[in-house]
């Protein structure tokens, strides 16, 4: 089974292109010779060797390899020819300025369309609000056709070419993307390519017994193979769906379903699946999507005896999709969603694979520091793995629509003399509010009594103590909660990479329990932290004394500071030891500008000695660009409780 695959030589790939090219030209006789066609051939010259090599390593020794590679190029050329002229201009702009996403001018936001603004029309009306915050990257959560009732928040897609009718139409989406572009905003959508819903046409055909489409999924006649696989798999939603397979009585088959039983994993061992999904990807790109959030990347490839996560061929597949994009929609950028061990996350990030990645290690370490008021593990962890390959960047977030899982590298804790298992349990107790003295109001998610694992749900504000403090009318607690929210966001906006705001967090929205009343949502506690955006509360941002105003204006200021200071460009960050456990510190330097950021995680004032500042290369006087104050640190620098400073 596992014979080593010989990689093709440059000569072989050139020969193969010479064989395919005339056939492609024959399929598009009208186009050959046009400038558009020439542009395609030029890109093919540049990228075909890479594509050929990748596909060979994935599918190589099969008798119909050349048929498939030709089919994939047919898809690419057709999509390129269909690509609207304004997007082709964008391609040219991006090719001239490929690392635009590393800019300090980029600020991201994410939302569910229906919860934020009802529908696409509503999003258009809210562009003003987004611009107010400086948003230039807008991630709209899945908006495609999906099953009625539970659809995993839209992550069970029934068609990649039709929208959920309540949200709008494809034409409206195209229209919105071009409107956003004119306003300086890039549209980001999910590419949910590990699975489709069981109502997707392919799944329906498979359901009817169509062999061609049955081969799009992974189906087994009995438990023999599923049992063999499950020996080494971890269940993702153990509460809702133990194991990774679902039995369909009418088909008499066990189907691979990593997530929910209505989400069928695609079978990428079948090259037709790659081709079909490449077509869907380019369709999205041609609708004006500039960045794809590559959903659930670790799970794409499966092999017995492994965890079926992060396998080499998963990487090769993403690289192959990336190469197809370089040929037919070069402006398209990939963002990896790999919520796995820190050392695995980085393996998805390179210009060949995903240009950007969520930064879960930062996210979980920030919450760890919020609970422990200690920045040591945070510094230790980031020092080791913050740096990315050239041309790549992080997407930094405090929380997203998913749960918070304590995906630490155990080693990091051992190295600091801590017990990772105990510590995870402490964090679960802390953020679910069970730990004495905790200010957080979250809840446990997918508690697995067998392994003791659990994750956490909750909005940023509720986890930072705002919900509890408001309920207890504790002014002091409210003040601390706001400071914690701003402290977390201060780091997001300055540490290096694109800051991504979960819309609603900027006005301190609390947990929402109304999902229990909706049968499509009840049972999945992630809905607790996906409240409907409260536009009445958002209005209160105009009152600077209100809770909403304090949080909103704090984040707005961060956004402006980020955009106005080149030091926040890219993500080359030097983490420093502030010689105070409560304080997290780093230098940002770019183009001659250097800024020292310091974050105090404690509710007590913390000092940094003047000697330490001097050792870090700081002069006696400097300016804190957050407070807009100049500081003379003759003996020490005092940070207020939960204060963040950026010293220039």
Q: At which residue do the structure tokens 């997707």 appear?
A: 200
Nearest to 610 by CA among 624, 629, 631, 582: 631
- Nearest approach in angstroms of CB 263 to ligand GLC is 6
- Nearest approach in angstroms of CB 402 to ligand GLC is 4
Cβ distance 578 to 599 under 8 Å?
no
Residue among 362 and 645 whose Cβ is closer to ligand GLC = 362
Cβ distance 577 to 604 under 8 Å?
no
Q: Which residue is nearest to ligand GLC (CB)?
A: 155
Residue among 259 and 367 whose Cβ is closer to ligand GLC = 259
What distance in Å separates the CA atoms of residue 366 and residue 213, rounded to the nearest whole number?
45
- Nearest approach in angstroms of CB 529 to ligand GLC is 12
Q: Taking CB under 6 A as the rule, does residue 265 contact ligand GLC?
A: no
Residue 471 has a CB neighbour count (10 Å cut-off) of 11
Helix (H) or strand (E) holding 539: helix 535-539
Interface map 176-195 toward ligand GLC (x if CB under 6 A): ----------------x---
Q: At which residue do the structure tokens 């990347």 appear?
A: 297
Q: Pick the binder of ligand GLC from 91, 152, 265, 506 (CB under 6 A).
A: 152
Q: Taking CB under 6 A as the rule, does residue 259 contact ligand GLC?
A: yes
| Three-state DSSP string of 491-524 | HHHHCCCEEEEECCHHHCCCCCCHHHHCCCCCCC
Residue among 142 and 499 whose Cβ is closer to ligand GLC = 142
Residue among 32 and 236 whose Cβ is closer to ligand GLC = 236
- Nearest approach in angstroms of CB 528 to ligand GLC is 13
- Nearest approach in angstroms of CB 35 to ligand GLC is 40
The two tokens of residue 538 are 């958002």
Q: Taking CB under 6 A as the rule, does residue 548 contact ligand GLC?
A: no
Number of H helices and number of E strands within the chain? 24, 25
Per CB under 6 A, contacts with ligand GLC among 373-432 are 401-403, 405
Residue among 129 and 502 whose Cβ is closer to ligand GLC = 502
239: region left, alpha or beta (phi > 0 left; psi from -120 to 50 alpha): alpha
Residue among 265 and 548 whose Cβ is closer to ligand GLC = 265
Nearest to 36 by CA among 44, 278, 46: 44
Cβ distance 74 to 67 under 8 Å?
no
CA distances (Å), origin 403, targets 239, 280, 357, 458, 509: 14, 28, 17, 8, 16
Nearest to 208 by CA among 166, 251, 151, 242: 251
CA distances (Å), origin 331, targets 98, 327, 350, 454: 8, 10, 16, 39
Q: Pick the binder of ligand GLC from 108, 134, 147, 153 (CB under 6 A).
A: 153
Tallying the residues shown for the chain, one arrives at: 648
Residue among 298 and 585 whose Cβ is closer to ligand GLC = 298
CA distances (Å), origin 423, targets 372, 376, 412, 441: 10, 14, 12, 18
Cβ distance 46 to 86 under 8 Å?
no
Q: Taking CB under 6 A as the rule, does residue 339 contact ligand GLC?
A: yes
- Given the residues 190, 290, 337, 403, the one annotated as active site: 337
- Given the residues 70, 198, 295, 505, the one annotated as active site: 295
- Nearest approach in angstroms of CB 46 to ligand GLC is 32
Point out which residues pair with 576 in neighbouring strands. 585
Cβ distance 229 to 302 under 8 Å?
yes
Classified as helix, coil or strand, 253 is strand
As a 3-state breakdown, the chain gives helix, strand, coil percent values, each rounded to 5, of: 45, 20, 40
# residues near ligand GLC by CB under 6 A: 14
What distance in Å separates the CA atoms of residue 446 and residue 524, rounded to the nearest whole number?
9
Classified as helix, coil or strand, 159 is strand
Q: Pick the binder of ligand GLC from 107, 140, 296, 377 (CB under 6 A).
A: 296
Q: Taking CB under 6 A as the rule, does residue 155 contact ligand GLC?
A: yes
- Nearest approach in angstroms of CB 284 to ligand GLC is 16
Instruction: Tell me whether strands 393-397 and 253-256 are parallel, antiparallel or unpaired.
Output: unpaired
What distance in Å separates the CA atoms of residue 281 and residue 290, rounded to the nearest whole number?
11
- Nearest approach in angstroms of CB 244 to ligand GLC is 12
Q: Taking CB under 6 A as the rule, does residue 308 contact ligand GLC?
A: no
Cβ distance 302 to 233 under 8 Å?
no
CA distances (Å), origin 88, targets 84, 279, 290, 331: 6, 17, 12, 8
Residue among 353 and 403 whose Cβ is closer to ligand GLC = 403
Q: Pick the binder of ligand GLC from 53, 198, 265, 295 (CB under 6 A).
A: 295
Residue 411 has a CB neighbour count (10 Å cut-off) of 14
Cβ distance 226 to 249 under 8 Å?
no
Cβ distance 590 to 567 under 8 Å?
yes
Interface map 54-83 toward ligand GLC (x if CB under 6 A): ------------------------------
Residue among 13 and 197 whose Cβ is closer to ligand GLC = 197
Residue among 127 and 443 whose Cβ is closer to ligand GLC = 443
295 is catalytic: yes
Per CB under 6 A, contacts with ligand GLC among 220-239 are 236
- Nearest approach in angstroms of CB 322 to ligand GLC is 19
Residue among 158 and 565 whose Cβ is closer to ligand GLC = 158
Q: Taking CB under 6 A as the rule, does residue 314 contact ligand GLC?
A: no
Residue among 260 and 600 whose Cβ is closer to ligand GLC = 260
Kindly list the residues in this chain that would bind ligand GLC in the complex (CB under 6 A). 152-153, 155, 192, 236, 259, 295-296, 337, 339, 401-403, 405
Query: Catalytic positions, please?
Result: 295, 337
């Amino acid at each position: 089974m596992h014979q080593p695959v010989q990689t093709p030589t440059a000569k072989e790939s050139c020969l193969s292109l010479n064989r395919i090219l005339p056939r492609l030209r024959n399929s598009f006789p009208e186009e050959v010779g046009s400038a558009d066609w020439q542009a395609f051939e030029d890109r093919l010259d540049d990228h075909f060797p890479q594509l050929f090599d990748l596909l060979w390593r994935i599918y190589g020794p099969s008798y119909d390899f050349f048929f498939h590679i030709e089919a994939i190029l047919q898809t690419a050329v057709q999509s390129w020819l269909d690509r609207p002229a304004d997007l082709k201009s964008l391609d040219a702009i991006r090719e001239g300025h490929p690392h635009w996403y590393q800019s300090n001018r980029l600020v991201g936001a994410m939302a569910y369309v229906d919860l934020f603004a009802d529908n696409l029309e509503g999003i258009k009306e809210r562009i003003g609000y987004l611009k107010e915050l400086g948003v230039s990257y807008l991630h709209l959560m899945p908006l495609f056709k999906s099953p009625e009732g539970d659809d995993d928040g839209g992550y069970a897609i029934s068609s990649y070419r039709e929208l959920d009718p309540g949200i709008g139409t494809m034409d409206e989406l195209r229209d919105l993307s071009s409107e956003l572009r004119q306003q300086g905003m890039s549209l980001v959508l999910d590419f949910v390519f590990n699975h489709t819903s069981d109502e997707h046409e392919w799944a329906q055909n498979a359901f009817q017994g169509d062999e061609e489409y049955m081969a799009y999924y992974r189906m087994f006649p009995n438990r023999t193979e599923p049992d063999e696989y499950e020996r080494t798999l971890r269940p993702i939603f153990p509460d809702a769906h133990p194991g990774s397979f679902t039995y369909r009585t009418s088909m008499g088959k066990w189907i691979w379903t990593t997530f929910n039983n209505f989400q069928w994993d695609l079978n990428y061992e079948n090259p037709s699946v790659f081709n079909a999904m490449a077509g869907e990807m380019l369709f999205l790109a041609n609708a004006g999507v500039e960045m794809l959030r590559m959903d659930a990347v670790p799970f794409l490839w499966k092999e017995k005896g492994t965890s079926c996560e992060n396998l080499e061929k998963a990487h090769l597949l993403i690289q192959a999709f990336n190469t197809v994009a370089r040929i037919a929609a070069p402006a398209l950028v990939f963002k990896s969603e790999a919520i796995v061990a820190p050392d695995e996350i980085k393996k998805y990030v390179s210009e060949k694979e995903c240009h950007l990645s969520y930064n879960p290690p930062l996210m979980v370490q920030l919450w760890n520091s919020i609970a422990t008021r200690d920045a040591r593990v945070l510094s230790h962890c980031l020092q080791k793995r913050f740096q990315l390959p050239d041309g790549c960047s992080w997407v930094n977030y405090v929380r997203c629509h998913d749960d918070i899982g304590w995906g630490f590298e155990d080693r990091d804790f051992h190295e600091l003399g801590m017990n990772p298992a105990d510590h995870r349990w402490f964090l679960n107790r802390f953020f679910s509010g069970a730990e004495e003295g905790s200010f957080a109001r979250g809840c446990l998610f997918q508690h697995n009594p067998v392994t003791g694992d659990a994750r956490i749900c909750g909005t940023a504000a509720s986890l930072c103590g705002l919900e509890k403090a408001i309920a207890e009318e504790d002014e002091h607690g409210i003040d601390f909660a706001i400071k914690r929210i701003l402290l977390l966001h201060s780091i997001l906006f300055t540490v290096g990479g694109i800051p991504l705001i979960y819309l609603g967090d900027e006005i301190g929205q609390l947990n929402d329990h109304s999902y229990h009343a909706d049968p499509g949502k009840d049972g999945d506690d992630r809905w607790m932290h996906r409240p409907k955006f409260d536009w009445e509360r958002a209005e209160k941002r105009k009152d600077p004394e209100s809770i909403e105003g304090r949080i909103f204006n704090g984040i707005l200021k961060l956004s402006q500071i980020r955009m106005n200071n080149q030091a926040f460009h890219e993500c080359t960050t030097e983490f420093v030891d502030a010689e105070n456990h409560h304080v997290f510190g780093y230098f940002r330097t770019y183009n001659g500008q250097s800024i020292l950021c310091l974050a105090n995680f404690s509710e007590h004032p913390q000092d940094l000695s003047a000697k330490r500042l001097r050792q870090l290369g700081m002069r006696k006087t400097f300016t804190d660009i957050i407070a807009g104050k100049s500081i003379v640190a003759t003996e020490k620098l005092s940070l207020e409780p939960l204060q963040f400073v950026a010293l220039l």
